[in-house]
Structure 1
Amino acid sequence: MSRQTSGKTLLRNVIRHTDAHNKIQEETEMWKMRDWEIQ
């Protein structure tokens, strides 16, 4: 039982980390495009 729960928690943490990483990458790309448009 506890093993299954820890697996779910791990999966949830991975998903949360991936979402945060994707958001950071999207913002970085957005700023790159904006810098490129200004120049």
Structure 2
Amino acid sequence: MSLIVMPILTCSIPLLLDDLIELCIAYLRDHLHAS
């Protein structure tokens, strides 16, 4: 089971991080424009 799960996790974590970074950038950009 873990042999199947580990590669999926290692592949999906960078994708999740990219999504989080994009959300953070959009969030900060909105706040900078609002102020």
Please indicate the TM-score interval, normalised by the length of the shorter structure: 0.7 to 0.9
The structure having more radius of gyration, on CA atoms, is 1
Q: Percent identity?
A: 12
Alpha-carbon RMSD: 1.8
Cα deviation for residue 21 of structure 1 reads 0.6
Partner Cα separation in structure 2 for residue 28 and residue 10 of structure 1:
26
Q: How many Å apart are 1:10 and its aligned residue?
A: 2.6
Instruction: Provide the TM-score with structure 1 as the length reference.
Output: 0.71
The corresponding residue for 1:14 is 9
Gaps (5+ residues) in structure 1?
none
TM-score normalised by the chain length of structure 2: 0.77
Aligned residues: 34
> Which residue in 2 is equivalent to 1:28?
23
Q: Which stretches of structure 1, 4 residues or longer, exceed 6 Å deviation after superposition? A: none
